[in-house]
């Protein structure tokens, strides 16, 4: 079994290759977009990026398996190393030239979330984490913020744009949070939102409808930076489909209670 440091290096290499490919590609015209579900687009760039990532990961870690958003979302998780890949988190942003999109690669090792890489494509900045070894960007160790007063907090969020039946509940939460904090931001790429929590730029974050590949890498970044991440129900098992609440310890405690009571 390869060491976590080696797996991080492999994931970084795969993410960098995909990020370079995405930067060099021309976003397709609107008529070439495919709508997987309502409001959820995919393009050939997403697919080619995932192919490149999967090829790199499985070549460098033989026997590992890839669960990817575009090409293998339903793949079984049977290998010792299972990669959870979003080749282009923030596709709608990418298609509109809004510079907030990323490559996200997480790894489960013997079923435990152990490796995370988020590569900010537009800014060419990489964030990495390994279980028990901290979260880093370049030579800088990441740490969640120390903000404890909601009135001074900046909170990230994501809209339930695919599951509109959750919109009424979400809007009640949004109203409660907006009344209490100094600002709420929705940038449209959960992997980068979680990197912002890990780096202390956001004090907390929540979203109701996320997939494993959206969050795997970012969750590990936040936890290794000293933060807390669970589902809205409080489960630490977040590598599934559903809700997510994250933040520094004090803001997490405050936010999850507020959301449950909204």
Convert the pLDDT of each residue in 193-236 to its tens digit. Answer: 999 999 999 999 999 999 999 999 999 999 999 999 999 999 99
What is the average pLDDT across 11-25?
Answer: 97
Convert the pLDDT of each residue in 151-205 to its tens digit. Answer: 999 999 999 877 788 999 999 999 999 999 999 999 999 999 999 999 999 999 9
Residue 159 structure tokens: 């809209």
Q: Are 230 and 207 in contact (CB under 8 A)?
A: no
Q: Are 154 and 248 in contact (CB under 8 A)?
A: no
Three-class DSSP category at 92: helix
**Got the DSSP string for 120-141?**
ETTTTEEEEEETTS-EEETTEE
Residue 63 is classified by DSSP as T
**pLDDT bucket at 35, cuts 50 / 70 / 90:** low
pTM: 0.94
Q: Are 77 and 67 in contact (CB under 8 A)?
A: yes
Give residue limits of the domains in the chain.
4-141, 150-261
**Which CATH class name applies to 4-141?**
alpha beta
Helix, strand, coil shares of the chain, percent, nearest 5, are 40, 25, 35
CA-CA-CA-CA dihedral for 69, 213, 207, 187, to nearest 10: -80
Q: Which fold has domain 150-261?
A: D-Maltodextrin-Binding Protein; domain 2 (3.40.190)
pLDDT at 163: 78
Percent of the chain with pLDDT over 70: 97
């Amino acid at each position: 079994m390869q060491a976590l440091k080696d797996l991080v290096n492999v994931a970084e290499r795969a993410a960098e290759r995909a990020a370079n490919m995405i930067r060099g590609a021309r976003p397709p015209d609107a008529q070439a977009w495919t709508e997987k579900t309502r409001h959820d687009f995919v393009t050939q760039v997403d697919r080619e990026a995932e192919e490149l990532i999967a090829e790199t990961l499985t070549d460098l870690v033989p026997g590992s398996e890839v669960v990817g958003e575009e090409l293998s979302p339903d793949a079984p998780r049977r290998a010792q190393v299972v990669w959870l890949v979003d080749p282009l988190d923030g596709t709608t942003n990418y298609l509109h030239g809004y510079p907030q999109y990323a490559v996200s690669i997480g790894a489960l090792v013997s079923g435990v979330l152990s490796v995370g890489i988020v590569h900010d494509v537009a800014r060419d900045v990489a964030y990495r984490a390994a279980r028990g070894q901290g979260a880093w960007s370049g030579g800088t160790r990441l740490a969640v913020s120390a903000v404890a007063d909601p009135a001074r907090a900046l909170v990230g969020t994501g809209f339930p744009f695919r599951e509109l039946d959750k919109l009424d509940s979400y809007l009640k939460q949004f109203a409660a949070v907006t009344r209490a904090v100094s600002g709420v931001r929705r940038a449209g790429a959960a992997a980068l939102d979680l990197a912002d929590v890990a780096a202390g730029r956001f004090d907390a974050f929540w979203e109701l409808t996320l997939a494993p590949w959206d969050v795997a890498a970012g969750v590990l970044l936040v936890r290794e930076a000293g933060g807390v991440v669970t589902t809205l129900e409080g489960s630490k098992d977040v590598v599934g489909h559903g809700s997510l609440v994250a933040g520094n310890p004090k803001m997490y405690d405050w936010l999850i209670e507020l959301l449950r009571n909204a």
